[in-house]
Structure 1
Amino acid sequence: MTGEFRQDEIVQEAIRNLFLGSVPERAEDLTSLWEQLDPTFQILPDVHKDGRIIMDAGIYHVVRFNHRVVRSFWIGAFAAWEGYRAVAESEDFPKVDLTRLRELVTAFEAAIQNDQSDEVPLPTGVPEPGTLPDEDGDPQGRAAAELSIIAVGWALLHEVRHIQHQQEGTSASVYDDTREARHREEFSCDEFATRFILDQVQRYSDENGDDPVIVRRKREMAIYFALFTLTLLAKDSWEVSDTHPSVQDRIDAVCRLMGNDRDETAQAVTYAAFVTLRALWPSAPMIVVGDRST
C-alpha cells in the first residue's frame, strides 16, 4: 500500500543504534539532540505517491526514508570500494577491468527502477544490507559494509539538521525563500552531518585506544562514500536546481570542511572510485585530491 509507513519503537531504536554504532563517542550529544528535537523516523514503502527515492524531513520532527534508499547506500558503498579495488589491483591503469563495477552499478539502477528494491538479488559477494561479512574471510566486503552503515548515518544526520532548522525557525521554505537560502540550508545540513561524525574522533580514540588517524580515515571514507552514492542517486541530475546545489559543489564543500589535512589514503581510495565511475559516466562529478578552495 502506498500510504503505509512504520514508525514503531523498533524503527526508532534501530536508528538510534545506527548512530551510536557510527559515532559512539557522541552518545551524550545524541541524547541531548533527541531531547531537544524529539525526532520520529518513518520507513515508507518502496512504491509511494511521493516518489521512488525518499529521504527527507518535515513537519518539525519527522524524518522519512524508504528501503530503496537504504539499499542504494549499501550497493553504493560496495560499488565505490570496487572502483578502488579495481584500480589498486590493476597492473595497467588504462586497462582496469571494470566488469564488476558495471555489475554493481547495474544492480544499483535495478534497485531504483524496480517496484521493489530487492526484487533482483544482489551480485554474488554482496550480502543483504545489514549483514556484515566475516572480517577474516572477506575483509574488503567487511570494509564496504561498515563504511555503508556510517554513510547512511551521515545521510540521516543531514535530515536531522533540517529538523533542527525547522524548529529554530531558520529553515528555507521551498515556496517563500530564495534559491540561495535553500542552497545554504543544504550546505548547512551537509556540514552538520560531516562535523558530527568527525569532530570527536580524538575522544573516541582516547576512550578506545585506537589510532585517531585510522579512525578519522575510516570516517572520512564513509562520508566520501555517501557522496559517491548521492552521485549515483542523482544520475543525469547533477547540476544545480531550485532546491539543491550541484552535486559537485556539495562534494567540494565537504572536502573543504575536512580541511587541507584530510587523510591522504581516504582521498586516494575515493579518487579511484570516482575515476572509475567517470569511465562509465564521463560527465559525473569528481572528487579532487588536495585543496579546491580557489
Structure 2
Amino acid sequence: MAELIDVPPSVVSNLLLGACPERAPEFEVFWERFEPRFALKQDDAGLAISARGNKVSWMHKTFAHDWVVTFAGFKALVAYGPHVLFGEACSGEISAQALGDDEGLGAAETELDALLYFAKQIQLVSDLASLDWPPEVPRPGTSREALATIEDKVCFDIACLAAAATFLHEFRHVQFAAEGNAPTVPADEEQACDDFSRTMLLEMVDAYASSAGEVTDRVASKRVIGLASAALSIAQAESQCIASAVQDTHPPTRERFVRLVLKADVADNATCWSYTACLLIALLRHGARLPQQVQFASPKHLCQQLVALL
C-alpha cells in the first residue's frame, strides 16, 4: 500500500476559513466532533480524492489538475464572454453562426484547448514531474502576492474557492460515516455532498457580507464562480472515457452542475451566470454538442439551457 503523508489540519482549515469565514463556529464544532484527518497519497494515474471514515486523502495531482482547469475556465471566458455579453445585451441568443464568424475565436479556443489537454495529461500520468508545465500557468502553490497579473490573481481566488467546495463535499462524507446515516444509494450520497458544499458556501453569505461591508450579491456571485469551476473540474476528471466506470456511484455531469451551481439562489443576471455559461459552452463545443442556436431570457436561463444539453 502506498505511503500516506499526513497533512496538517490547519492547511484545510485556513482554506475553508478563507472561503467562508462566517462558518468558523461550525467548522470548530465539526473539528471537535468528527476529528477529520488529511493525507497526501503518492501520485498515480487518476485524480482520486476520497473520504474513508474521518480521513480525507488526495494526490498532489488532484489539485494541480483543478488549478489548471481554473485557468482554462478563464480562457473560456476570453473566448466566449463577448458572445454571451452580446447575447445578453442585444440578440438574446448564442448562435453557431456568430461563433463561426468570430475571426479571433480560433486562437482563443486553441489556448483553451491546450490547457484542457494538459489537464487531461495530468489525469493520465502517474508522475506530475514527467510533464512540461505550461509557461503561461503559474505553478500550484505560488502565493497570491507573487502572481504578476490580475488574471492570475483572479484564477488563484477561483481555484481556492473551488478547492474549498471540494473539501466541503468530502466533509459531508466524513459526517455521514461518523453518524452512520449515509444514503444507501452511492449517487444519492454524492448529490447530498454537493448540496452540502453549495449550502455551506452560500447560505450565510449575507451575514459575511454585512460584517465585512461588502455587497452580498457580489460575494455570492464570486462563490458561485468557484462552485462552477469545481463542477468543470469534475466534468474534466469524469470525462466520457471513464463515465461508465463511475455511472453507478456518481451523478452525471449535468446533475453535478445542477446541484453545485444552478440551485444557487443568486440573481438571474449576476456575473456568475455569464462566467458559468462560458464554461458550459466550452464543454459543449468540445463535445460537438452546442446547437445552432440557443435563445435565452437571462444569463441564468442560458446556463439552465446549456446544462440540459450536457
Q: Give TM-score scaled by structure 1 length.
A: 0.85
Deviating more after overlay: 198-207 vs 136-145? 136-145
Shift in CA distance, 263/35, structure 1 to aligned 2, threshold 3 Å: farther
- Report the counterpart of residue 204 of structure 1 in structure 2: 208
Shift in CA distance, 262/17, structure 1 to aligned 2, threshold 3 Å: farther
SS at match of 1:244: coil
Q: Give unmatched runs, 5+ long, in structure 1.
A: none
Q: 2:159 aligns with which of 128, 148, 158?
A: 148
Contact 1:205–1:211, Cα closer than 8 Å, also in 2: yes
Q: 1:64, CA displacement in angstroms?
A: 1.1
Q: 1:211, CA displacement in angstroms?
A: 1.4
Contact 2:65–2:122, Cα closer than 8 Å, also in 1: yes
- Report the counterpart of residue 113 of structure 1 in structure 2: 124
Contact 1:68–1:117, Cα closer than 8 Å, also in 2: yes
Contact 1:82–1:273, Cα closer than 8 Å, also in 2: no
Contact 1:46–1:66, Cα closer than 8 Å, also in 2: yes
The one-letter code matched in structure 1 to 2:121 is A
Matches within 5 A, 1:68-87: 68-87=61-80
For 2:281 and 2:126, locate their aligned partners in 1 and report how far apart those are by CA, in whole Å: 31
> Which structure carries more helix by proportion?
2
For 1:170 and 1:283, locate their aligned partners in 2 and report how far apart those are by CA, in whole Å: 39
Deviating more after overlay: 121-130 vs 18-27? 121-130
Q: 1:196, CA displacement in angstroms?
A: 0.6
Q: 2:57 aligns with which of 45, 61, 64?
A: 64
- Report the counterpart of residue 5 of structure 2 in structure 1: 6
Q: Could you give the per-residue CA deviations for residues 223-266 of structure 1, whole angstroms, max 9, x where no partner exists?
A: 00100010010111447721112121221233442137355321
The one-letter code matched in structure 2 to 1:129 is P
Deviant stretches of 4+, over 4 Å: 89-92, 132-137, 290-294
- Report the counterpart of residue 52 of structure 1 in structure 2: 46
- Report the counterpart of residue 233 of structure 1 in structure 2: 237
Matches within 5 A, 1:180-219: 181-219=185-223
Q: 1:139, CA displacement in angstroms?
A: 1.2
SS at match of 2:263: helix
SS at match of 1:165: helix
- Report the counterpart of residue 259 of structure 1 in structure 2: 265
Q: Are 1:39 and 2:36 an aligned pair?
A: yes
The one-letter code matched in structure 2 to 1:199 is E
Q: 1:291, CA displacement in angstroms?
A: 5.4
SS at match of 1:289: helix
User: What percentage of residue pairs aligned between the two structures are identical?
Assistant: 22
For 1:245 and 1:283, locate their aligned partners in 2 and report how far apart those are by CA, in whole Å: 20
The one-letter code matched in structure 2 to 1:6 is I
Q: Are 1:130 and 2:128 an aligned pair?
A: no
Supply the RMSD in Å over aligned alpha carbons. Answer: 2.6
Shift in CA distance, 46/221, structure 1 to aligned 2, threshold 3 Å: same
SS at match of 2:50: strand
For 1:36 and 1:212, locate their aligned partners in 2 and report how far apart those are by CA, in whole Å: 31
For 1:192 and 1:69, locate their aligned partners in 2 and report how far apart those are by CA, in whole Å: 21
- Report the counterpart of residue 256 of structure 2 in structure 1: 250
Q: Could you give the per-residue CA deviations for residues 68-98 of structure 1, whole angstroms, max 9, x where no partner exists?
A: 1110110111111110112235796323131
Shift in CA distance, 241/136, structure 1 to aligned 2, threshold 3 Å: closer
Shift in CA distance, 73/290, structure 1 to aligned 2, threshold 3 Å: closer
Shift in CA distance, 276/135, structure 1 to aligned 2, threshold 3 Å: farther
SS at match of 2:40: strand
SS at match of 1:6: strand
SS at match of 2:57: strand
Aligned residues: 278
Q: Give TM-score scaled by structure 2 length.
A: 0.81
Contact 1:22–1:149, Cα closer than 8 Å, also in 2: yes
Q: 1:36, CA displacement in angstroms?
A: 1.3
